[in-house]
Structure 1
Amino acid sequence: MHAADLNRVVYYSKDDLAGSSHLTKGESILRSSTKSNYTDINDVLELYNIKKYIDNDLFLNSWTPEDIIAFKQKVNEFGKIVGQFMSTIDDNNVLQQYSLTVREYIDSFWELVNNQAIFKRISKVNFSTILTDEPHLIYTILTHRSIVDQYNSELKTFLLTYPKSAEILLSIYEVKQEFRTKQKYLPKSLTIEDKETIISNYLESSNVNLNYVGLIQNIRNKTDFKVSDKIRLKAKRLQKLETEQFFSENNGMKYGVSISFIDNATKIKDGYMDNLVANYSYSLDYIKQHNDNYSLFENFKILFEYLDIQNRITLVSKRGQMGVMEMLMGVHSQNEYRVGIVFQLSEMTSQAQIVAYDKVVSDLNKSLEDILHYVYTSKFQEIYGYADNAHLSIPSATNSFFEKVRLLAPEFESVLKQFKLFVEDGYIDFELLQISSSPSAIKDIPSLNQKKYIYFNEDNEIIVGCANLFFSDQTGLSYVEPFQNKNYASFFDLLENEVVYFDNYEDYQKPKIDYLIEKGFISIDEKGVIQITNPERLIILKDLYFNEVASFHHYPINFQEEVNRMAADNIVFFESTLFSKPEQSYLNYFLNKSEFTNGLDLRNSYLHGTQAKPDEVQKHQYAYFTYLRLLFMTLLKIEDDLLISQETTPNLN
């Protein structure tokens, strides 16, 4: 057992916010005379940690340039002291020296063992003894490649029996790391079969973490890490069993959706929350008064708001919709489509909307399928001059849901291919379409319009940092007297609504303000008031920050001009596709597993016959209405593309 010593200097990382307090602790050591002989390993490791601060150019603001020069020379001496002391560690004294090492310096100890090749002087027996006594040490050991190579066989034996080895494997191959973590290395003798055995044994153990069980179901196989379908099924069944047991024992948070269509409504649409249940109501009179097929089609935008004012699909999962706790809790695959409560509620809502709307439309002696067919094969030609041979087959009302999905799935792909040919050639050549049997990737469906979508240049670290300062709710810049009680979500919201003086801020907050001034986003007027220097640019950045994409042609001309300047400044870039990147990901999540391991894979399951059995009606009903939703969204997106092209090229017809 290693004792703790919180009064010693510890180096964590260059970005660690506690660095200044540790440097303050170490200042007396830097200013004092160096000992001629060190006997305490912790004194030596403290010198090593102090040296790492200075080597990474981390200094106290109170230090003069002369201090810094002197300290840099001083830590060179520290390096020699550390090297000399560690050279005395061998198999005879390693157990004793390691037992004396305080908890805060365990990582430093093994870092030096690795970097100075001390492991060559430590027997495999003593190494195994240390690891057996402290199994959790494995997480540190695996970050040092040379140590892993030296004790290859011992580490393999350990991992095959360690209860948490499966979680280690998943953290290496599958888990998305939210923070910077050190790379882990595995012993080369650990085979693919060994890794699969570790995963299988974990699922049969008595102490499994459901977060990791969920990852196992959707592992993306790699050349050196694979699991069989039997293990995936084992994980799926275990998660279902454990989840059902959890909810039977605990009254967790419950939320839901209520959809109603009412007569004599005062609004065409309304909504409110009641005990985490979203209640939406729609005017039945409005629908009956506008009951032609095209108006019924447009209700997916007007009433159900599948698209926003820029004709972006609103149902996509957005990082900004997830709270901090949702982002940090649990483990997540680097290849999964991240969803939170907002997304889940949105999906429940949109599914309930289309199922209920189907009944309303049926009472009007119409069908959703007929509406889709009419809009795609007739209305688009009439309004926008779309191809007059556009084709869409629809299932019969007598078909089962199982049959309907299998009929509609290829028609969805056909619509995408038809539009792709129309963009490329100006017409649809069905003979050419039939020759190309492979499906078109969602990302490859082009747009008729140049500069269709605007994206944030994530490589521009300065702009990313400035955007976070303006729009994140974690910067603290919105929390300032005398506006603290108004709970503004961001610095931008505060500036948009209040007259804010620079002197309102505390000294510790002002460096962030100074940074935004330096980068030209804000200025201080003669009265000391903070002013936004370029409102259009900031509004565009806000749009991109929260929506992850913007539609160039839906901006007014002055904003388009500003976007062009931002592109010239390497702040944004353009792409021209039918669907934006967030929309592509949303569709891929439902249709396939090309992008995400947790995708529903509706397309492939029905194409290859791996869907639910025909008598599992509820599952097929869900799949069918999901396909209908995606097809309505797709036609709305095609209409947007045709409309933009018509407005920017008047002679399209």
Structure 2
Amino acid sequence: MEDVDSPVRLKFYGIRDLSNGWLAEEAVTLIQSYSSERKLLSLNDALELHNALEFEKNNIFPNFLTAQDRTELALSARESRRLVASFFSNIEVSNLEEHLNELDFQYAKDLVLLLERHEVAKRVGGQMLFKVLSDAALPLEVMLSDRQFVNRHDRRLREVMLSDAHNGELLVRMRLVKDSNPSCHLPASLSGEDLQQLLSAYIASDSPHINYVQAIAESNDNDSFGVTPKIRLEARKRHKDLIEELLAEKRTTTTNTYHGLRLDPEQRKPVIDRVERDENNVSYVRSLSEKYLLSSMDPERILLNFASVVGILERGLLTMPSFKGQLGALRALIISGKDAYPRGSEFNYVDALTLNGTQFYSDFLRQYSIEVEDSVAWFFREHLVDKFGVANFYFAASSPSSSFLERCRHISAEMESIARQFSLYCNEGVLDAELLQMTSAPRPWAAIPSLTERKYLHRGSNHNCDRAMHLLFSDQSGMAYINSELKAPNFVELITENEVSYDSVRPYQKESIDWLIDEGLVVVDSDLLEFAQPVQILVLSDINNREAAAYGHYGEDEASAALLLVQKGWLEFSSTLLTKPEASYFNYFLNKSEFSDGPDLRNKYAHGTNADPEDISTHKNSYFQLLRLLVALTLKINDDFCLAPQAQSSTMSETP
């Protein structure tokens, strides 16, 4: 292995790597030096030159290079490639081990690639090459990075993988976690039974990574990859044991988080949120006004209270889904299953408060002989007719005397019926009961249409928009810290909450600041950085926070700013009932079409795989999860009718 004190060598990390801008000049210099008179003296020289040539291959050049310079560089690159090929053609049995002993391991994957490209195995023998690479401690993951290498050493790699239970961790990293490594290739001789054996051995091993075990438990079944219901059950049980072991350790300090609701008979505001802390506990308490709830007991106000008091809906968008902007860099570092629903602390907070709020408010209403499902039935049978002139919608509420198990089965079917009714109405303009009976196939939640052509705004496929969103809102953009006095979670908060002069910006930040100025997002006024169009930043903030914006809820200024972003190609309109995160939220709770770790409520209650009928607590919790979804769907449909072009002026409002 190369000495740690050796000079830092050039490395190509990919066409999208941010370091390319300042490494390209070094790559050009290296190519030119070897094409003239410089010689390759070591394996690392050859691998470094190969990395330099990757810049030229992918047309990554310094800005000052002219067209003539690039033509000449292409000729130099041709000579440099000949040098690399010549070096590898001279690797023989006699010098193979010597070359590998000096390997700089940042070039390990490049080495495997070039060994195959120049057919070194044919000269030294496949068994010999594999042995020397293994003796040099080349990681197994690196050996699996090249398909040709894997095919050549198929049986050898299979034997190595099955020889150590901890190679199951590599298997998980390759396929079963988010941001898994698609560049790794499994030996073709590894059967599904082999992989199942490896995963099982890893789960039962002495020290499996708790997050990798969780990722196995959260995976979708895949017999060919060794993931079966039995393996997932093994992983789930082991994960539970590992959690208990972790909490039992005396050096482990935990903070308990509680979510609670209370009814205040004297409170004037409809809802107040408080955070209460002591040494090891944090409690999020939502206080509801009893006077206000008693003053709003009609069906319309009950549904609106779910939006504003329980907190389900805000400006046409559901609050409960998991949004990428909430996860942050720390959550992104946490290992999670590839098919798992991404959940962060903000999701857990809103989920707990809205679920507890749904049960709390439902129990409150039941004291006065009012069922939430009856308010939903009123909306579809009466409100749509009275306010919008839309007839034939129906919803059958559960019987108050039915069990929670029966209610879960009933409400699951009724939600699908509502979705089919609304889809048919959007497509046909009327709701024909006979035609509805002929369309029994469920509509995917993401595909339910809208009555409004410009329902939502969301990000388009635009590199400049991606860059702007990163610079403005990311906690990893490098734009939120000037000094110990001027710092914030992101650049938008830094500028809005502080006076930041252009001269105070650090040198490495100025290129990004200048780019934001060129894009018309930032201006310099009396040396202070300000946003050129604050309303435009608000629109982009909506997109960042909820991954969509409800265009119909915008005022004139917001709508104008949004249209400019659409014309710029940064944002696009869509016309569906639910945004993508909202549809994913429904999928997470109701089925396994998108995520592997959800409650799967619709399928469990439709197919009879639900919990024991005597497990009342589980069915009660499932019912309130389903009731929350039912109310959310109803509120979204109401919002769609309110925004539709033919909507009357007198409609339900989101605020009491």
Is residue 2:434 matched to residue 1:431?
yes
Per-residue CA deviations over 1:111-141 (Å, capped at 9, x if unaligned) read 3212212122232332342354356621111
User: What letter matches 1:217 in structure 2?
Assistant: A
Determine helix, strand or coil for the equivalent of 1:509.
helix
Q: Give the TM-score normalised by structure 1.
A: 0.89
- Are the aligned partners of 1:520 and 1:533 in contact in 2 as well (CA < 8 Å)? yes
Of stretches 229-238 and 37-46 in structure 1, the one that deviates more from structure 2 is 37-46
User: What letter matches 2:283 in structure 1?
Assistant: V
Match of 1:315 in 2: 320
Determine helix, strand or coil for the equivalent of 1:447.
coil
Determine helix, strand or coil for the equivalent of 2:317.
coil
Is residue 2:506 matched to residue 1:503?
no
**In structure 2, distance between residues paired with 1:568 and 1:46:** 44
Is residue 2:381 matched to residue 1:392?
no
Per-residue CA deviations over 1:524-569 (Å, capped at 9, x if unaligned) read 45x4444544444332222112221011111123433443343333
User: What letter matches 1:356 in structure 2?
Assistant: F
Q: CA deviation at 1:244?
A: 2.8
C-alpha change, 1:104 and 1:579, in structure 2 (3 Å) is: closer
Q: CA deviation at 1:592?
A: 0.4
**In structure 1, distance between residues paired with 2:628 and 2:589:** 11
Is residue 2:147 matched to residue 1:145?
yes
Match of 2:367 in 1: 363
Of stretches 189-198 and 66-75 in structure 1, the one that deviates more from structure 2 is 66-75
C-alpha change, 1:40 and 1:238, in structure 2 (3 Å) is: same
Match of 2:631 in 1: 632
- Are the aligned partners of 1:218 and 1:598 in contact in 2 as well (CA < 8 Å)? yes
Match of 1:538 in 2: 537
Q: CA deviation at 1:508?
A: 2.3
Of stretches 278-287 and 227-236 in structure 1, the one that deviates more from structure 2 is 227-236
1:369-384 matched pairs, under 5 angstroms: 369-384=373-388
Match of 1:115 in 2: 117
Aligned residues: 644
**In structure 1, distance between residues paired with 2:475 and 2:107:** 35
Q: CA deviation at 1:460?
A: 0.5
Q: CA deviation at 1:495?
A: 3.7
**In structure 1, distance between residues paired with 2:474 and 2:521:** 16
Match of 1:353 in 2: 357
Determine helix, strand or coil for the equivalent of 2:263.
strand
Is residue 2:352 matched to residue 1:328?
no
Q: CA deviation at 1:410?
A: 0.8
C-alpha change, 1:377 and 1:524, in structure 2 (3 Å) is: same
Match of 2:286 in 1: 280
Match of 1:256 in 2: 258
Of stretches 207-216 and 579-588 in structure 1, the one that deviates more from structure 2 is 207-216
**In structure 1, distance between residues paired with 2:453 and 2:122:** 62
Where structure 2 has 5 or more consecutive residues not aligned to the other structure, the ranges are: none
Determine helix, strand or coil for the equivalent of 1:508.
helix
User: What letter matches 1:90 in structure 2?
Assistant: E
**In structure 2, distance between residues paired with 1:272 and 1:6:** 57
Q: CA deviation at 1:226?
A: 5.0
**In structure 2, distance between residues paired with 1:445 and 1:32:** 61
C-alpha change, 1:558 and 1:43, in structure 2 (3 Å) is: closer
**In structure 2, distance between residues paired with 1:360 and 1:579:** 29
Q: Give the TM-score normalised by structure 2.
A: 0.89
Match of 2:217 in 1: 217
Determine helix, strand or coil for the equivalent of 2:206.
coil
**In structure 1, distance between residues paired with 2:139 and 2:647:** 64
Per-residue CA deviations over 1:154-205 (Å, capped at 9, x if unaligned) read 1122122233333333333332218xx6711222222233222322232232
C-alpha change, 1:51 and 1:617, in structure 2 (3 Å) is: same
Match of 1:560 in 2: 559
Match of 1:604 in 2: 603
Per-residue CA deviations over 1:207-235 (Å, capped at 9, x if unaligned) read 32222222222333568535322222222
**In structure 2, distance between residues paired with 1:34 and 1:600:** 65
C-alpha change, 1:257 and 1:560, in structure 2 (3 Å) is: same
Q: CA deviation at 1:25?
A: 11
- Are the aligned partners of 1:422 and 1:428 in contact in 2 as well (CA < 8 Å)? yes
Where structure 1 has 5 or more consecutive residues not aligned to the other structure, the ranges are: none
1:480-495 matched pairs, under 5 angstroms: 480=482, 485=485, 487-495=487-495
1:126-205 matched pairs, under 5 angstroms: 126-130=128-132, 132-133=134-135, 137-177=139-179, 183-205=183-205
Of stretches 249-258 and 342-351 in structure 1, the one that deviates more from structure 2 is 249-258
Match of 2:230 in 1: 230
C-alpha change, 1:7 and 1:385, in structure 2 (3 Å) is: same
Q: CA deviation at 1:392?
A: 1.8
Determine helix, strand or coil for the equivalent of 1:322.
helix
Q: CA deviation at 1:7?
A: 1.4
Root-mean-square deviation over aligned CA pairs: 3.2
**In structure 2, distance between residues paired with 1:266 and 1:488:** 35
**In structure 1, distance between residues paired with 2:231 and 2:475:** 42
User: What letter matches 1:603 in structure 2?
Assistant: R
- Are the aligned partners of 2:261 and 2:360 in contact in 1 as well (CA < 8 Å)? yes
